Chains A and B, each alone.
Chain A
Amino acid sequence: MARQGKRSMESTGLILLSQQTALQRQVEVLANNIANANTTGFKTQRMLFQTQPMATQFDDTLQFVIDRATMRDPTTGPMVRTGNELDFALQGAGYFAVRTKQGTQYTRAGSFGINSDGDIVTQEGDTVLSADGQALNIPQDANQISLDATGRILTDKGEVGKLKVVTFKQEQAMQETGNSLYKTNEAGQDATDTRVVQGAIEQSNVRPVIEMTQLTQAVRAYQQTANMIQSEHDRLRTAIRTLGRVSAS
């Protein structure tokens, strides 16, 4: 239901204000995308705008703009070879599972390392989980770490385990928690047709050209709105002045 509202002298200003607030948010989202243009496994965020119709006492509606949500662009980022045997990239949908202090979280940033116990960990030191929910322990005397087609990590001292890769039905409902991690309440299923690639990482899927053009557009729209606020202000002032003169005479 569109809410019943009153059309008043300030309506124009309020509509313009709603646009400025929305544009400011959009610039913040764009700025965050650009800042993360080099962050492993980062997904571009998009602002979702929506009109908020408001019926007036006359037979028309005022349309405000509100920033409804931020969505993630889930496309896979470009893959870059690093040659590091503990760098993993996911080809296809899915996430690596990581044990954090806040419970299991998920990431696509596969630049892993080993901790002093020999467990595979993220750059933050959180343990990367195997398919059966355990840590993946690399024996200290292992010379080589390799990965077979099914995602099992092998060393020359035997099999270590299979990397847990999960997919989610409601990917957009996952929340960013920073450090390239996501959390969700959904249990997730084991990914079936996602391939893990060793010695490569998935780069940020931010496309700078698009972000920069959108940034320019947003700034121009913002300036335009500011100009409109200015001319609206002038119009009101003139109206008040003129009407005041009429009643005085």
Chain B
Amino acid sequence: MRAMSIGATGMLAQQLNVEVISNNIANITTTGFKGMRAEFKDLLYENLRRPGSQSSDTGTIVPTGIQIGNGVSAGAVYRINTQGSVEQTGNSLDLAINGKGYLQIQMPDGTTAYTRAGNLQLDANGQIVTSDGYPLLPSITVPADTIDITINNSGQVFAKVDGQVALSNLGQIQLATFANPAGLEAIGDNLLRETPASGTPTTGNPTANGFGKLQQSSLEKSNVDIVQELTNLITAQRAYEMNSRVIKSADEMMSSLNQLR
């Protein structure tokens, strides 16, 4: 009986849905996190069609045949790249990106990763790094006797060094944009990696055409909407139950057949 396997595809799909939703809820306070959404599609249809079958003696024709679907499958799990709310933190190395773009991070294996989590820090050499210690690209080193760091909207980094009147320009933070940011691959630790689907990065200064602006002493919060996620969770759970009812119903039908003597 096909109904059983159709119900099974429904349960699998809702299970994936719950997994995606629970990951969103788990990351409700993760800096720069973008919520994901599971998108479903119907499976192939079986055509038990009777083309041009007549529905009456006068020759009227049923306009459609019999098409029986085979259930549902996961179409895609895609990132919703909306802007998260920006929160003031007071930490001078916290950067929020308002608009398009990703910070570029140098990975230990030499590749470049991308992130919107701008909770940056200094390492032992004064280099600006992520909370995991991966250096920011292009690399910027802050002198040892710096009192204060100022980063403006367009990404220029200035340091007030002890004993100097003028601020010294330490460098320029650049952002990368992609044709299809939803195609970036998440590799954990708030980092994303370029894929053939995302396209190649275009780098530029913040506030330039097509790039967002930087906001110092702020962080972009997760864009997950908890109310929406919880409603989705309930919907997914109920849908799961309904699909299990389908399997049970199919089972009852088969058992009534088996009871025939």
Contact = CB atoms under 8 A, between A and B. Distances in A.
B128 interface: no
B210 A111 contact: no
Nearest to B177: A140
Interface in A76-116: 82-85, 109, 111, 113-116
B6 A28 contact: yes
Contacts of B69: 29, 32, 35-36, 45, 176, 178
Interface stretch (A55-63, A159-167, A208-216, A240-248): A208-216
Given A34-B243, A176-B69, A226-B257, A116 B198 contact: yes
A68 interface: yes
B67 A176 contact: yes
Interface in B126-179: 177-179
B68 interface: yes
Q: Which of B55, B100, B245, B252: most chain A CB closer than 10 A?
A: B245
Interface in A207-236: 208, 211-212, 215-216, 218-219, 222-223, 226-227, 229-230, 233
Contacts of B13: 35, 38
A128 to B, nearest CB: 14
Interface stretch (B22-30, B73-81, B115-123, B214-222): B73-81
B259 interface: yes
Interface in A150-178: 157, 170, 172-173, 175-178
Contact of A113 (B182, B235, B239): B182
Contacts of B257: 226
A129 interface: no
A35 B42 CA distance: 9
A249 interface: no
Q: At the interface, is chain A mostly helix, strand, loop or mixed?
A: mixed
B32 interface: no
Contact of B9 (A35, A124, A157): A35
B259 A118 contact: no
Contacts of B3: 24, 27-28, 30-31
A143 B252 contact: no
Interface stretch (B58-66, B88-96, B102-110, B185-193): B58-66
Contacts of B259: 226, 230
Interface string A124-140: 10000000000000101
Given A34-B243, A35-B9, A38-B40, A219 B67 contact: no
Interface of B: 1-4, 6-7, 9-10, 13-14, 17, 37, 39-45, 47-48, 53, 55, 57, 62-72, 75-76, 78, 80-82, 99-100, 177-180, 182-183, 196-200, 202, 209-210, 212, 235-236, 238-239, 242-243, 245-246, 249-250, 252-253, 256-257, 259-261
24 contacts: A24-B253, A25-B48, A27-B1, A30-B3, A31-B2, A38-B236, A40-B40, A40-B41, A69-B65, A70-B64, A70-B65, A83-B80, A117-B179, A123-B41, A123-B78, A140-B177, A141-B177, A141-B210, A177-B45, A179-B42, A223-B256, A226-B256, A227-B256, A233-B261
The 10 closest A-B pairs by CB, nearest first: A141-B210, A35-B10, A116-B199, A32-B69, A31-B6, A31-B3, A123-B76, A178-B44, A114-B180, A226-B256
